[in-house]
Chain A
């Protein structure tokens, strides 16, 4: 049976996706926050135009529509008390499963109407992230990413950033190699070697993969050694629609995995969570590596935010494609294949 559309959860003036595209994307898992961010206060989030509240109930992290069942107040304005979410408007208390645990205005013994419960969504903590799916059953599983739990790895969380861009534009940029010599020239991009070798894209059930060697500027985390040019093997795995693992493999055995997950808050605004996992340079809390990655991201952000049209054109005739764009072409085709039109209404 097809689950119902989530269009009714969106305030009409806040709709930026067409209902059809939103429903397709709503059947995938998307992260809303790092689990470590969820604690003392409820968090306000938006996913596919839907306002959500993320909070830590007695039994774990919960995700609900950011709407008190009583008078429609935003629950994210409230606070946590004894593992219950308290509405700031009239103090109604909610458990992690969305049921109401107390109505302060009435006597303690008075019955609580069964209808008084929050619309909740599945909340799964994996890879340190809180994932939800607005329209289960999910069309694909949360990516496995086994390297994250390999022995000898250190995982670092890059603070989430909001990009004023469509999620698919952010993802395509992360999977694009030809821009490295330009946008990241001097950081790790090699302006002297902008040529992109031939590569092929492997199609998997829920993912796209490709591998490419790129002679990047290789900097060590602590700036002890002078930068050198190293032929790095880049292994990309894009789990549809918006989660990518990029493995950066140095010939000497150093491995850095970068996980980039784009969460579509609206058709024009994307929250980006990023994890780093590496088997080297671990004798610090990760500060320099996090700062360096944030600097790299800040080089991409203005270019992607300025791209036009804002939505990724799924009609391939709208832009020009070259051999280096094989991944971009494959990605656009797969987004089409899952039923997206890309004709978002924002």
Chain B
């Protein structure tokens, strides 16, 4: 287990509810811990992926009669994690030590969340998810061979748009970033009114300037809102720290316009954009985000990154940082 005092007390996304039908069993990995995620009716359990008998992975098993059955010897666990049946000795009461290790679960924004330590009361706020004037389009998980802080910092960065996303989010003829302010608050970081030239910000084919507001909501969760007139497009981006090498990023996009554009088109666009980011982020060295600001060069346009690094330093995040 990756023993980060901050991330052990965070909620992390481990599955999408729509991909976890009743009776489904899935494997996940969080902070180096293998997890089994399984669903019986509307109840979802997240446990350590281990049968205490012979250490087999429960994620290879199946759900029967509301219980999870180990694939190796059929030991059967109820939703409370207690072993209720040992088929080799059906008359014997399973020992009390025969239990699965269960973690807390929250279901929100169509996602399954868990926490390996003492969980905070609230999930990151995303009010647009419940706002009927918006429609929500999930995307990801995007798998990175990189660590969360580098992935989030890339999400917050606008300076790379003309280069990595030329023709998508930026334009090589418009590389300059106007002044903007970024501040660290008690809850994270906010950077307002970042003006960006985009070749086709709303899908009409007309280039225009748009205003971005970025917020860091949790150490590995950020969002932006993109405004153009009354049109709002927002995206929340949650990075799950898989292990010491890998991350999985889950996104939800919301928009209050273009309801006629199929969700698959919007998701495909985001898939393409993230596909452009991935090789760059995976190539970054050092892999650990340097919280000592002297270690890399910063420009005015890096204000959000500077504020993010300062905030992580205040929090005492260890994972993915140096």
Contact = CB atoms under 8 A, between A and B. Distances in A.
B57 A319 contact: no
B54 interface: yes
A328 to B, nearest CB: 8
A178 B53 CA distance: 12
A331 B163 CA distance: 62
Nearest to B97: A320
Interface in A167-223: 172, 176, 178-179, 181-183, 194-196
A110 interface: no
Interface residues of B, number: 23
B57 A178 contact: no
Contacts of B70: 182
A296 interface: no
A324 B90 CA distance: 12
Nearest to B98: A320
A181 B74 contact: yes
B89 A195 contact: yes
Contacts of B98: 320
A172 B56 CA distance: 13
A307 B55 CA distance: 5
A170 to B, nearest CB: 13
A324 B92 CA distance: 12
A183 B71 contact: yes
Given A178-B88, A195-B87, A195-B90, A320 B53 contact: yes
A322 B56 contact: no
Contact of A196 (B34, B88, B97): B88
A229 interface: no
A303 interface: yes
A187 B74 CA distance: 16
Contacts of A322: 53, 86, 88-89, 92
Interface of B: 34, 50, 52-57, 60, 70-74, 86-90, 92, 95, 97-98
Interface of A: 172, 176, 178-179, 181-183, 194-196, 302-303, 306-309, 313, 319-320, 322-324, 328
15 contacts: A181-B87, A182-B71, A183-B71, A194-B90, A195-B87, A306-B56, A307-B55, A307-B56, A307-B57, A319-B52, A322-B86, A322-B89, A322-B92, A323-B89, A324-B73
